[in-house]
Structure 1
Amino acid sequence: MGKLRTWIQIGFTALTNGYAAGFLKGKIYTGDFKKYCVPGLNCYSCPGALGSCPIGSLQAVIGSRNMNFSFYVVGFLMLTGAVFGRFVCGWLCPFGLIQDLLYKIPFVRKWKRLPGERGLRLLRYAILIGFVVLLPMFAVDIIGQGSPWFCKYICPSGTLTAGIPLGATNPQLRAAMGGLFLGKFALLIFLILLSVAVYRPFCRYLCPLGAVYGLFHPISFYRYQVNEELCTNCGRCREVCKMDIEVWKNPNSLDCVRCGDCLKSCPHQALKRKAFFRSQLQRVQTEKEV
């Protein structure tokens, strides 16, 4: 499953960031596809991006001086979360792929947890509420226009896939880059180095998109289920879980990125995928038999 997941991540990244001419010319694709969101964290300003990031789109709507409720963006987030949950994070997000590849670097001690782990995991919710919603809504300029605070001040995916490629091909933009870009670049380097030792630190501690999708885990169509009759609480699932989740206690944890390592490691086959439609079909069949 590990190799399959990696190839799906690579394929989806190539599909959603496949505008090669953008990288060659240092120009952003502005065609019709850019009107639509893609599931993962995918910077609008990336030269190769064919779609829009749902977090960036949400901030654009909230920060607009003529703000209207965007049924499309909110509906997209709710539908994607309700169907997949953080499966998107584990299988479809380009920046998740980058962190996964960095973690594969050998000869470095791997850390399951950092000091203050519980508090650090709450940061992504604070960023979601503060930088994605409240600041764009209330910290506005003289004409009532808000800024995309998360994209502007934090997002390392935007720095890596948009800021660096555009700066490398555009001398004027490169000359205009100041302290703000240097600060974001420093954060990116820090996260890259940390990703070698800690599995997905951005997803775990900072990503507001993962925070949104994780809220749907307990009710999403795609979720995990523990067979309590087969489970012996041996803890093997937690041993292989890079996010350090007690899977037998909470198989649908808000931190889970659905990598599937726990499924194949259970010695008693007590952990299964529970697809909503399949479970509903089984229930109907059982009722008919009765």
Structure 2
Amino acid sequence: MAKGRRWLQVLSLLLLNGYLPGWVKLTLFTGKSKGVCLPVLNCSSCPGAFLGCPLGAWQGYLGAARSPSFFVGGILLMAGGVLGRFFCGWLCPFGACQDLLSSKARRRLIPWPSRLRLLAYVVLLITFLLPYWSPTGTPYFCKYLCPAGELFAGLPLVLGRSEFRSLVGWVFLLKMAILLAIFLLVLVGVSRVFCRTLCPLGAWLGLFNGVSLWRMHFCPEICRRCYSCRQVCSMGVKLPDEVNSPACIRCLSCTEVCPAGALRFGLNKKGKG
């Protein structure tokens, strides 16, 4: 399962950013599909991006129309209601980048303060509400914080086009520092540090983990309390006690290592979990 998930992550990363003429000319795809978005963190300003970014689309519409986008909101509600944070663990391009850096050769998971998860909800409020009150409709998350935008769009455009290099200022340097800090922490063993601490999309989808149609199920009667599940969790969830925690990205590594089969992911049914 782990190998299949990794291949799916790589495939998603390549397909969502697979517009080859954009990479060659460092221009943006402008087709109709840019009006569609998936509940994953992938910058629509990336030269290879075929789809829009849900966070960018939400902030842009909120700032321009002073009204929420019911189309984007509907996508995010449906995604959370059906699968919760499953998209974070299986399809998110920026999540895939963090996982690829955190290879098995050096994957000694370092504890990360669980209270820092609360920062993601602060960023969620900034992202979902603040553009409404901005005089210029500024998409604050995209402009100042988004590491995916820096990795997939900012860096390629600045490195490849001289007119963008002349515009480099403190905002670009701030986002570059955030991106480097994230990747350095991942390399030393703090897996999925951005997903744990700052991602507003993950924070939103995680709110649905306990009520989504497909969710985690735990059978305490057969659990051996070996805590193998806790040891492999890349999000630092205290399994099995925190099954369906908002932090769970549903990578299903815990179900794979459980010797008793006490954890599973499936349709909600009457019973515990």
2:86 alignment partner AA: F
1:120 aligns with 2:116: yes
Distance 2:171 2:221 in 1: 55
1:147 partnered with 2:132 = no
Deviations 1:180-209 (A, max 9, x none): 101111111111111112101000100000
Q: Which residue in the other structure is 1:275 paired with?
A: 267
Report the equivalent of 2:125: 129
Quote the residue 1:208 is aligned against: 200
Are 1:87 and 1:257, in contact at CA under 8 Å, matched by a contact in 2?
yes
Identify the residue that residue 218 of structure 2 maps to in structure 1. 226
Task: Provide the residue aligned with 1:92 in structure 2.
Answer: 91
Between the aligned residues of both structures, percent identity stands at 43
C-alpha displacement of 1:112: 3.1
For 1:133 and 1:228, how far apart are their aligned partners in 2? 38
In structure 2, the gaps of 5 or more residues are: none
Q: Choose from 230, 235, 245 the match for 2:227.
A: 235
1:26-45 equivalent positions in 2, closer than 5 A: 26-45=26-45
Counterparts of 1:171-190 in structure 2, within 5 Å, are 171-190=162-181
CA contact (8 A) 1:81 1:213 kept: yes
Structure exhibiting the larger radius of gyration computed from Cα positions: 1
Superposed CA offset, 1:246-274 (max 9, x none): 22212111111111111011111111222
In structure 2, C-alpha distance between the alignment counterparts of 1:21 and 1:120, rounded to whole Å: 40
Tell me, yes or no, if structure 1 residue 162 matches structure 2 residue 153: yes
CA contact (8 A) 1:46 1:161 kept: yes
Q: Tell me which stretches of 4 or more aligned residues in structure 1 moved more than 6 Å.
A: none
Question: Could you tell me how far apart the structure 1 residues matched to 2:160 and 2:17 are?
Answer: 17
RMSD of aligned Cα (Å): 1.5
SS across alignment from 2:245: coil
Q: State how far apart, in whole Å, the 1-side matches of 2:160 and 2:230 are.
A: 45
Aligned partners of 1:190, 1:2: CA distance in 2, in Å?
A: 26
Q: Distance in 2 between matches of 1:155 and 1:70?
A: 20
Q: Is 1:16–1:38's contact at 8 Å kept on the other side of the alignment? A: no
Query: C-alpha distance in 2, partners of 1:135/1:68?
Result: 12
Name the SS for the 1:106 alignment partner.
helix
Cα deviation digits, residues 16-58 of structure 1 (max 9, x gap): 1110111110101111100101221011100011001111111
* TM-score of the superposed pair, with normalisation by structure 1: 0.89
Superposition deviation, residue 107 in structure 1: 4.7
Aligned counterparts of 1:31 and 1:103: Cα–Cα separation in 2: 34
Unaligned runs of 5+ in 1: 281-290
CA contact under 8 A between 2:79 and 2:205: conserved in structure 1? yes
* Number of aligned positions between the proteins: 269
Task: Decide which of 183, 192, 209 is 2:183's aligned counterpart.
Answer: 192
Report if the CA contact (8 A) 1:112-1:243 is conserved. no
User: How far apart are residue 119 of structure 1 and its match?
Assistant: 2.5
Residues 1:5 and 1:71: Cα distance change in structure 2 (over 3 Å):
same
Amino acid at match of 1:53: C
What residue number does 1:7 align with?
7
Could you tell me whether the CA contact under 8 Å between 2:215 and 2:266 is conserved in 1?
yes
SS in structure 1 at match of 2:266: strand
Distance 2:106 2:154 in 1: 31
**SS at 1:233's partner residue?**
coil
Q: Give the deviation of 1:160 after TM superposition.
A: 0.5
From 261, 266, 279, the equivalent of 2:253 is 261
2:58 and 2:68 in contact (8 A); partners too: no
Deviations 1:2-29 (A, max 9, x none): 1100100111111111101111101011
Question: Structure 1 residue 84: deviation in Å?
Answer: 1.5
